[in-house]
Amino acid sequence: MSAPAAVPLATHAAAGAPPRDRILATAARLFYSEGIHAVGMDRIVTEASTTRATLYRHFLGKEQLVLSYIQATDEQIRAFTSAALEGLDPREAVLAVAGALGDQLCAPGFRGCPFLNAAAEYPDLSDPVSRAIVAHRDWLRELVARLLAEAGDPEPAEDAADLMMLRDGAVMAAALGDADAVRASLARAVRHVLERAGVV
């Protein structure tokens, strides 16, 4: 449930972009498509057309680069979501977010949720990367709960938790199988939650 559309994450930067932007965009693309631990710093240096000295001038090490990737992804999603929901009443916003779930599953290049993917590689909840992942998911769950409450849902926290769980399961299922079939199944399940909540 990342936004009311497939969020265009910044995984590419123009050749003339500042070095930090090129490094972060390259890291985002490789981390998302191949996994964080599978990608070494030399690979990022090469594909970002920079030097190790430049990379380490902007990021003290890989852990800081990974944290920056998670934080930048979070910031992009928050900004995109805020802009997409602007001007919508609470019910319209809930339906827009719910409708976006399936859109994300079928987006080109979809390889699952970047936060769930990263969480699988950073299981220690005390790690700064894990804390950044949790912060994003807390924001998302609280956003959905607030929209549900404003739309008249008597149990917004419980229903937001249900929608998050449906979203997480659908993300994994779509990454492993028929995204269109998962999208249809998810739409039915989400509608049941929203009907029970009195939103639709």
| CATH for 31 | 1.10.10.60
In a domain, 19, yes or no: yes
Q: In the structure, what pLDDT confidence band is assigned to residue 6 with cuts at 50, 70 and 90?
A: very low
pLDDT digits (tens, 9 = 90+) for 121-159: 999 999 999 999 999 999 999 999 999 999 999 999 999
Alpha-carbon distance 61 to 113, whole Å? 24
Do 95 and 156 belong to one domain? yes
Do 197 and 109 belong to one domain? yes
In a domain, 77, yes or no: no
Do 96 and 57 belong to one domain? no
Judge whether 63 and 148 are in contact, CB under 8 Å: no
- Burial code (b: 16+ CB inside 10 Å, e: under 16) for 132-146 equals bbeebbeebbebbbe
Pick from 70, 102, 120: which residue ends a domain?
Answer: 70
In a domain, 75, yes or no: no
pLDDT digits (tens, 9 = 90+) for 43-71: 999 999 999 999 999 999 999 999 999 99
pLDDT digits (tens, 9 = 90+) for 29-41: 999 999 999 999 9
The range of the structural domain enclosing residue 31 comes to 9-70
Do 56 and 149 belong to one domain? no
Do 42 and 96 belong to one domain? no
CATH number, residue 176: 1.10.357.10
Provide the number of structural domains found in the chain. 2
In a domain, 178, yes or no: yes
